Amino acid sequence: MNEQPTWASTAKAFVYLLPAFAIIAVFTMYPILSSLVMSFYTDYDFFNNEVYAYGFGNFVELATDPSFRTALLNTLIFVIGVVPASILISLVIAVLLNSNIKGIRFFRTSYFLPFVTSVVAVSIVWNWIYHSDYGLLNYGLGLFGIAPIDWLTDPAYAMPALIILCIWKGLGFNIVIFLAGLQGIDRNHILAAKIDGARGTRRFFHIIVPLLSSTTFFVTLITMISSFKVFDEVYALFSGRPGPANSALTVVYYVYQKFYSEWEFGLASAAAYVLFVIILLLTIVQIVVSKKLVHYQ
Instruction: Give per-residue pLDDT as tens, 56-77.
Output: 999 999 999 999 999 999 999 9
Give me the domain span that covers residue 250.
65-293
| Residue 261 within a domain | yes
Whether residue 108 sits in one domain with residue 85: yes
In our burial notation (b when 16+ CB lie closer than 10 A, e otherwise), range 219-240 reads: bbbebbbbbbebbbbbbbbbee
Whether residue 212 sits in one domain with residue 166: yes
Phi, psi of 43 (to 5 degrees): -145, 105
- Cα angle for residues 71, 153, 147 (degrees, 5° grid): 125
Taking residues 81-104, what's their average pLDDT?
Answer: 87
| Residue 60 within a domain | no
Instruction: Tell me the range of 132-146, 155-169, 183-197 where mean pLDDT is highest.
Output: 155-169
Whether residue 288 sits in one domain with residue 145: yes
Alpha-carbon dihedral sign for residues 282, 284, 285, 287: positive
Instruction: Give CA separation, 41 vs 194, 197, 277, in Å.
Output: 65, 67, 19
Please tell me which residue, 113 or 163, carries the higher pLDDT value: 163
For residues 249 and 243, the answer to whether their CB atoms sit within 8 Å is yes
Whether residue 146 sits in one domain with residue 242: yes
Whether residue 71 sits in one domain with residue 133: yes
Whether residue 110 sits in one domain with residue 13: no
Q: What is the mean pLDDT of the chain?
A: 88
Whether residue 249 sits in one domain with residue 160: yes
Residue 74 sits in a domain of what CATH number?
1.10.3720.10
pLDDT at 147 over 90: no
| Residue 289 within a domain | yes
Whether residue 125 sits in one domain with residue 44: no
Whether residue 141 sits in one domain with residue 102: yes
Taking residues 123-143, what's their average pLDDT?
Answer: 88
Whether residue 46 sits in one domain with residue 116: no
| Residue 243 within a domain | yes
- For residue 207, what are the contacts with CB-CB under 8 A and spacing of at least 6? 189, 190, 193, 198
Whether residue 156 sits in one domain with residue 36: no
Taking residues 28-50, what's their average pLDDT?
Answer: 89
Check residue 296 and give its pLDDT. 66
Whether residue 239 sits in one domain with residue 112: yes
Check residue 119 and give its pLDDT. 84
Taking residues 26-52, what's their average pLDDT?
Answer: 89
Domain count for the chain: 2
pLDDT at 1 over 60: no
Is residue 297 very low, low, confident or very high in pLDDT (cuts 50, 70, 90)? low
